[in-house]
Structure formats: C-alpha cells, structure tokens
Structure 1
C-alpha cells in the first residue's frame, strides 16, 4: 500500500491555492483525474478499493470522478454499476442513477476523493429515495477533513483505500 500511496501522490498532488467543492481553500490538491487517466494506476487503485467492498448488489459511481473507478471495479468484480448524477436530470428518464435498477438492492457508493462528504450525502439521499439500501461509501482518497464523521452521522460508513496521512507518509 505504501508503493500505491507514493505513486498516487506523485501522479496527482498539486500545490498552490485551490477552492475545494466544500468551499474550503487548500494549499494542496489531489487531482484525481491525473491518476484516473493512467490505466495501470487506475486499475491498481480500483483493485485496492475492491478489497474494501462489503457484500452488495451494485456499485454506484459518483459523477464524475467516481464513474471511471466504479467501471473498473465492476470489471474486476462482475458487479453491475450505476452512475449517479448530482441531481436527477429534468428530461428523458429523469433518473438520478443511470444504468440499472437500485430499488431494494444493497448499493455501495464509489467516490474518488472525500473531503467533507457534502456531495456524497446528497447523492446517497437520492439513491435512498429511489429505494436503494445504502450504508457504505468506498473512496480512493479520504482527505481526513470531516467526511468520515459527516457520513457516519447519516448512517454511512466510509472506507478509504488511501488517506491523506498515507499519501504524505512517504515525504
């Protein structure tokens, strides 16, 4: 896992001034698209995340960064994947989750980077409103900035392949 943390850190750690989705400002940023665009590294991250999966029926990749990870995890496990929008679309099927049914199924949500978990909470609520049983989120990187606690308050367990501590341990 140390080698994977080093490779991910080297591929996607940026410094500067960044506004995060949560609205927080950070002097560093983990640009997950920089590892998601490298096939071998994406596969290695997905393999690490597969080991964290609970028993379940469906993987739900979060728009946008969780989708490539969930797709690779689906290939590795044979579990079907759905793709979760930030909000249900206002046209066509008007679904929040595209790709297959979720009603009555145990859905594990797949995310790239978790900071505070705000977007995850909204999407998990959407999945639950569509009848999915959602209790676990698996992510590639936990920035360790309150996401785990915020998710736990809504009955969601966060399992991370890598944490900010892991990524910085090799420095």
Structure 2
C-alpha cells in the first residue's frame, strides 16, 4: 500500500477508535484515553479498507485464514471474501458441547494456517491458538494483524517461531494522532 494511503488509513483508524473520557482498564487502573478496536471492525467501510490493505500480508501458500475470537473473526471473514481463501474461526478454548472444536470451519490437520488478529500486544491469545492448532496438526508460521502495539513490533511471537506481519504499529497510530493535532 502506498505510504500516503497507509498514513490516511492510520489517521482514520485512530480518529475512529481513540476515545477520551474516564475508562477503567482490565488492570483496574483508570485512563483518560482508550483505544476501542471494535469501532473500526464494526464499520463496514473501514473494515474493508483495513482488510484490503492487509491482503498483501497473506502468504501465498496459505490454505486457511484463522481468525481469532473475537477481533480476528471479522478481519478473517473480510480478507477471506477478498482473497477467496477459506476462513477458520478459532476460539479461545474448545467448546465443551457439540463438536467440542477449538476451530470452526475446515479440518486443520496438514493445512497451512495464517492467523489473523486485530491487535497484537503481548501475543498471548495468538500464542495459545498457535500451540493448539499445531497440536491438531496444522502448520502455523505467520500471524497478520491490523495493529502491532508491542514495544518492538514484529517480534512478540518470535519465541514460538511465528512471523508477525503488522499492517500498522503503535508508532504509526501515534504519528497519525500527532499529524491530526498539528
């Protein structure tokens, strides 16, 4: 994607998702600013722009796009509709009823899965899903994400030999915010 279009997308995501007010974080701390990723994922035009921009990140040998519950599912679905690669919906834990599956969709054994996530910070959910999918016989080598918010983008999952390919980083969003304010 052209740098000016990527910068415009970063500005639009930041403008849509960065909220100000009083927010209680998962840690219990209070913040005056909050990034609500679901605001870009629930906007069909913005979601499509993000998915189209992420399309070139998908490795050519991908058999299935594994969207992680919850934020990766709309992205995987949209990227699947653009690329024609089937989507797979990966739960945080296997269902305890019915099929008892961790991943809904095609069988994963022997398939090359590219994980799709909205935001990677520490990579915990991606790490858990990767271990489970590999245990089920899948080849998982790449995760693509809309935003990598880790301190060192692209490296959060290198300990499990997973390549992280982000569309945007925290730095890109910070730069977009500064450009809007300036």
TM-score normalised per structure 1: 0.92
Task: Name the structure 1 match of 2:38.
Answer: 33
- Alpha-carbon shift at residue 146 of structure 1 (Å): 5.6
Measured in 2, the distance between the counterparts of 1:60 and 1:133 equals 12
Asked if the contact 1:45/1:140 (under 8 Å) is kept, the reply is: yes
| 1:86-101 matched pairs, under 5 angstroms | 86-101=92-107
Asked if the contact 1:117/1:148 (under 8 Å) is kept, the reply is: no
Rg comparison, structure with higher value: 2
Task: Name the structure 2 match of 1:2.
Answer: 7
Q: Do residues 126 (structure 1) and 132 (structure 2) align? A: yes
Taking a change above 3 Å as real, the CA distance of residues 11 and 154 of structure 1, as seen in their structure-2 partners, is same
- Alpha-carbon shift at residue 17 of structure 1 (Å): 4.7
Asked if the contact 1:59/1:108 (under 8 Å) is kept, the reply is: yes
Task: Name the structure 2 match of 1:53.
Answer: 58
Q: CA RMSD in A?
A: 1.8
Displacement over 6 Å in runs of 4+: none
28-37 or 142-151: bigger deviation: 142-151
For structure 2, which runs of at least 5 residues remain unmatched after alignment? 1-5
- Alpha-carbon shift at residue 47 of structure 1 (Å): 0.7
- Alpha-carbon shift at residue 169 of structure 1 (Å): 0.8
Taking a change above 3 Å as real, the CA distance of residues 114 and 49 of structure 1, as seen in their structure-2 partners, is same
Taking a change above 3 Å as real, the CA distance of residues 143 and 44 of structure 1, as seen in their structure-2 partners, is same
1:37-73 Cα offsets, whole Å, 9 max, x none, are 1111000000111111112111000000100000000
3-state SS of paired residue (1:153) = helix
Taking a change above 3 Å as real, the CA distance of residues 127 and 24 of structure 1, as seen in their structure-2 partners, is farther
For structure 1, which runs of at least 5 residues remain unmatched after alignment? none
Q: Do residues 169 (structure 1) and 175 (structure 2) align? A: yes
Task: Name the structure 2 match of 1:68.
Answer: 74
Q: Do residues 11 (structure 1) and 11 (structure 2) align? A: no
